[in-house]
Amino acid sequence: MANDLVTRTFSIVDLAGFTALTEAHGDVEAADLAVRFADLASELLEPDDSVVKTLGDAVLLASSGPRAGLELVSRLLDRCQSLDDFPLVRAGLHHGPAAERGTDYFGSSVNLTARVAGQASGSQVLVTDTVVAAARDLGLKVVDLGHHELRNVAESTHLWEVALVAHQAGLVIDPVCRMRVDTSQAGGWLRHDEAEFWFCSLTCVGRFLASPSTYTQS
């Protein structure tokens, strides 16, 4: 068989706290949000980008190189952050070879991208050594997170955090469903143990009141 390996920058971007959101708002609303997220990714593609596939609440993206990959993820995170009724988004990026089959990609580079994305928290973007130079060239702040042992990856992986998401004043996180909430348009607010909590809806207020310790433990 001919050598059909291609080199791409792979990005996996997903909705942080999607399980909590599903439990709070139900399967139908969660599914609609996942579809909406995938549609947003498709709308932001440049000619050399592609949405390879959706993975539940995540999308696997492929770009021609690290700079293009970072720019695509930046556009997607910016768009999601501009929407008040959207949860936090996180991402992982890696540049490397993969086997191309139709419109899909297979191999260790895609697997590593998934592991890197799994290490990220809400609003965090993590990249490997193969992408960090492009982040610096774009003038982005990078933080060295050291080497990490990732599941089913033989060698430790050097991870870097890239600052792609700017903090927006007036936005907080609903402790129940983990959705971002504009405090000026919140569905509810209360004080518990000297702390303030804002909610997207009265449904989340009710869940919080039924078991505050579930949502206030660090």
Residues 67 and 114 in one domain: yes
Residues 140 and 175 in one domain: no
Query: Residue 137 has what pLDDT?
Result: 95
pTM greater than 0.75 (yes/no): yes
Coil, helix or strand at residue 53:
strand
Residues 130 and 71 in one domain: yes
Structure tokens that stand for 44 in this block: 């932001």
> Mean of the pLDDT values across residues 172-198?
78
Domain containing 197 equals: 171-216
d(CA 41, CA 34): 11
| Residues ≥6 apart with Cβ < 8 Å to 149 | 156, 157
Residues 100 and 193 in one domain: no
Percentage of residues in the chain with pLDDT exceeding 70? Answer: 94
CATH number assigned to the domain comprising residue 85? 3.30.70.1230
Residues 78 and 39 in one domain: yes
d(CA 183, CA 197): 10
Helices 27-43, 66-81: crossing angle, 10 deg rounding = 130
DSSP state of 185: G
* CA distance to 147, 149, 162, per residue, from 155 (Å): 9, 7, 22
d(CA 77, CA 72): 9
Counting the structural domains of the chain, the total is 2
Q: pLDDT digits over 155-177, tens only?
A: 899 999 999 876 555 567 777 87
| Residues ≥6 apart with Cβ < 8 Å to 173 | 88, 122, 179, 180, 181
The better pLDDT of the pair 214, 136 is held by 136
Closest CA relative to residue 135, chosen from 78, 69, 75: 69
Closest CA relative to residue 176, chosen from 21, 26, 31: 21
